[in-house]
Structure 1
Amino acid sequence: MRRLTRRSAIATALALSACGREAASQPAYPPITDTPLKSIASTPVGACVQHAFLQDPAYAELFARHYSQLTPEWEMKMEYILQDDGSFRFDRPDAIADFARRHGIRLYGTTLVWYDQAMPAFLRLDGQGKAFANAYRNYILAVAGRYRGQAVGWDVVNETVADNGVDLRASIWTRNLGVDAHMILAFHHAREADPEATLFINDYHLENNPTKRATFLRTVERLLKAGAPIGGIGTQSHLDLDVTRPGLCRAAIRELAGFGLPIHVSELDISLGDKPDFARLPELLKRQADLTRELAGAYMDLPARQRFAFTVWGLRDSDTWLHGPSGQRPSDQPLPFDAAGRPKPMFQALAETLSA
């Protein structure tokens, strides 16, 4: 997740701009066979969901047809679950988990600890030592424990490296529990809550920023040496045709796999750029598909035991967070399906590569 404000993004994520609608109504490519992706992929394939989207039968049918894993986009995060008085709200997370269960889809949870979410219930405990630490543990036990036996994995610690690529982020968690200590504790608490789930540390721009990737890898190494039960590494893979050069994805996957841990491509989308020239849409979609092939190919080159799952961050172009106020790219087309639910060249690239 780049800089997100989920509550403010939901309404705008449900609609396309006029430009986006026009592009969606006139595909810039020949028809692509809509073969169920999960039936041909030799690895779990997933996408994120919102509770509101699942109320649309066409959306729910398209999701269940193609994906074998789902990640709640924001409703399993602290911003939704933890109320100001310290109580927990599980109505929407439970409904999403129930949809997964009814359709035989794996549930993946995100995220237990994120620097960007300091809720009032924790702010009231700021500086209170043991009380803060107890609330931290209780929250992780309550959330991860609720889906014990169903969630196959969790983003336990999310986005710990700062955008400068050098520093680790400061937060209410680091201030009260310590920079490394809050992460080590989070992994131990998550393991206590669910001994079977695979526990991930997750970050973004690991492909585009080698300095950030190096800092991230040093952090993982340090946490592992300290005994943190990290079970996997997540790379969000929010890519951008303006930034992501050929070869960057392959190099990143190779380095991230160096610990021998499972790899989760956890939030893939590929933006067409800051101000895409839609007169060149066929070329842009081809470049998008080529970049998808590179990333998916690098993932598939991993040993089978390291291929945890390959997840895209949204179902259709109309559902992307990039259309929201935090993304400000209202006509972007970053996902494998267009606004009408038709497969794009990006989908074809996934089908060809993940079935290898």
Structure 2
Amino acid sequence: MPRSLPRRAGGAVTTALLAATMVTALSHTATAADDTLGSAAAAKGRYFGTAVAANHLGESAYTGTLDREFTAVTPENEMKWDATEPTRNTFTFSAADQIAGHAQSKGMKLRGHTLVWHSQLPSWVSGLGASDLRTAMNNHITQVMQHYKGKIYAWDVFIEEAFRTARAVDPDAKLCYNDYNTDGINAKSNAVYTMVKDFKSRGVPIDCVGFQSHFNSASPVPSDYQANLQRFADLGVDVQITELDIEGSGTAQADNYANVVKACLAVTRCTGITVWGITDKYSWRASGTPLLFDSNYAAKPAYTAVLTTLGGTGSGDGGGGDDGGDPGAACTVAYDRTSDWTDGYNGQVTVTAGSAPITSWSVTLTFPSGQKVSALWNGSPTWNGDVATVRSTTYNGSLAAGASTSFGFTVMKNGNSAAPALGACTAS
């Protein structure tokens, strides 16, 4: 089978293509239930979310990965006090509305982050006296929650009065206490545990406790992580992993991610996991490469470790689950437009194995709005909106170290001649 089609595919060529076993006519069918982080987590009764920055939503690879993999969104900074009320009684919601609108259009849960916190406060707050500060805080909570009423799954709150005010404004939103350095059983988590227990005993409206879970070699995943989650759940609140990132790479990072997911799955009231960002290049800890996708949106061993631990059956096994996959398996991809005409083009993606042999590969492509793929060969696609996940076939999945193969496709432009965005390449 040729790797590209003639400039104008005639009827005979089209018939031959459709008859050949290497050609797949495409229809936008739903992604298999266990192919992505979000769908695999949903099968376990949980959400799998990510933090999102509004200024990256115009990047197709960013939104393509977001829309394909995640079922919940937390704004990184756009809903914090300094962003939403920079001057007193002047509220700005445009950036936060961008994120909220995108999440709502994709049916994703939206976590409100955060109503009150000890940092990222507007400068005008610091000069207020106690009574005026209380008034300002309650007004801020009221105005922000009213703006997003009915759209927020859960809000991160902070202190007792804030919880009471928040419940009065939106009785349907879950209210969470969310903090850092509380992942294991230690002095700080003991203090938070005592506070939550007291809140419950006195009827303070707290529904959940969030664990930010920022880990690295100096602050690893604690051995009592699961036990800590469980003791909070035993107080009658849900627990959520709200800002997960783990510095590192390879097997060690994959194993740590898998252990965090296992802990959540073992605690019935652990309702979801949010990683703090999509790609390493935009992480607040970028030098530590702490996320599931690298700077080119390629899925890392940690990604497949998480997917496998969730029970998913994606194209790779990151080594953190129980199925013994090879976390060293890797592939890279390159795209080329092999022919072009007024209303269509042919594209080719070359897949190259890394330093170790692989037995299968998977590549994601996000096609620009309006474009339609009419045929694809040498690959097996599934679709989620405009995002195609193309997997190796029975005859081109096994590649020696450094060896390459390719698949191709025909696209009808429909007025948009932009190139598709290459996303994650995973291998096993």
How far 1:144 moved relative to its partner?
Answer: 1.7
Partner of 2:392: none
Check if 1:230 corresponds to 2:206.
yes
**Structure 1 equivalent of residue 260 of structure 2:** 295
Q: Is the 8 A contact 1:246 1:291 kept in 2?
A: no
1-side partners of 2:184 and 2:164: how far apart?
31
Q: Is the 2:175–2:208 contact (alpha carbons within 8 Å) kept by the matching residues of 1?
A: yes
Q: Is the contact between residue 317 and residue 338 of structure 1 (CA under 8 Å) also seen in structure 2?
A: yes
State the Cα deviation string for residues 253-303 of structure 1 (Å, max 9, x = none): 22332213111100000012xxxxxxxxxxx42111111111111110122
The residue correspondences of 1:307-322 to structure 2 (distance < 5 A) are 307-322=270-285
Separation in structure 1 between the aligned mates of residue 62 and residue 107 of structure 2, nearest angstrom = 17
The aligned amino acid for 1:56 is E
Cα pair distance change 1:310/1:94, threshold 3 Å:
same
Deviates more, 1:55-64 or 1:345-354: 345-354
Alpha-carbon distance between aligned partners in 2 of 1:245 and 1:59, rounded to the nearest angstrom: 28
Q: State the Cα distance separating 1:246 from its structure 2 match.
A: 5.7
Q: Partners in 1 of 2:224 and 2:256 — Cα distance?
A: 10
Instruction: Please state how far the C-alpha of 1:126 moved relative to its aligned partner.
Output: 2.1
Query: Which runs of no fewer than 5 residues in structure 2 stay unpaired?
Result: 1-33, 313-428
- Counterpart of 2:220, as a letter, is T
Q: Secondary structure at the match of 2:77?
A: coil
Partner of 1:65: 68
Match for residue 162 of structure 1?
none
Question: What is the aligned partner in structure 1 of residue 50 from structure 2?
Answer: 47
Which position in structure 1 is the counterpart of 2:95? 92
Deviation at 1:245, TM superposition (A): 5.2
SS at match of 2:114: strand
Partner of 2:138: 137
Partner AA of 1:146 in structure 2 = H
Matches for 1:63-212 after TM superposition, within 5 Å:
63-127=66-130, 129=131, 131-157=132-158, 183-208=159-184, 210-212=186-188
Q: Does 1:258 align with 2:223?
A: no
Match runs of 1:266-305 below 5 Å:
266-272=242-248, 284-303=249-268
Which structure features the higher share of helix residues?
A: 1
Task: Give per-residue Cα distances to partners, 1:297-352, cap 9 Å, x unaligned.
Answer: 1110122xx132110000011111113xxxxxxx2210111111111111112112
- CA offsets 1:120-148 (integer angstroms, 9 cap, x no match): 33234324x2x332221111011122111
Contact 1:82–1:121 at 8 Å: present in 2 too? no
Question: Which structure has more RCO (C-alpha within 8 Å, separation ≥ 6)?
Answer: 1
Q: What CA distance in whole angstroms lies between the structure 2 residues aligned with 1:295 and 1:197?
A: 26
208-217 vs 223-232, greater mean Cα deviation = 208-217
Determine helix, strand or coil for the equivalent of 2:56.
Answer: helix
Q: Distance in 2 between matches of 1:287 and 1:302?
A: 23
CA distance in 2, matches of 1:295, 1:125: 41
Q: Which residue identity does 1:342 align to in structure 2?
A: A
Displacement of 1:208 in angstroms is 4.8
Q: Give the equivalent residue in structure 2 for 1:337.
A: 293
What residue number does 1:220 align with? 196
Q: State the secondary structure of the residue aligned to 1:252.
A: helix
SS in 2 for 1:150: coil
1:106 and 1:152 in contact (8 A); partners too: yes
| Residues 12-31 of structure 1 aligned to structure 2 (within 5 Å) | none
TM-score, length-normalised on structure 2?
A: 0.62
Q: Which has the higher strand share?
A: 2
For structure 1, the 5+ residue unaligned runs are 1-33, 158-182, 273-283, 324-330
1:154 partner SS: strand
Q: Distance in 1 between matches of 2:295 and 2:240?
A: 26
Q: CA deviation at 1:212?
A: 1.5
Q: Does the alignment pair 1:244 with 2:244?
A: no
Looking at structure 2, the residues matched to 288 and 208 of structure 1 have their Cα atoms a distance apart, in angstroms, of: 19
Task: Write the distance in 1 (CA, Å) between the matches of 2:304 and 2:80.
Answer: 32
> Is the 1:254–1:298 Cα contact (8 Å) retained in structure 2?
no
Distance 2:98 2:125 in 1: 26
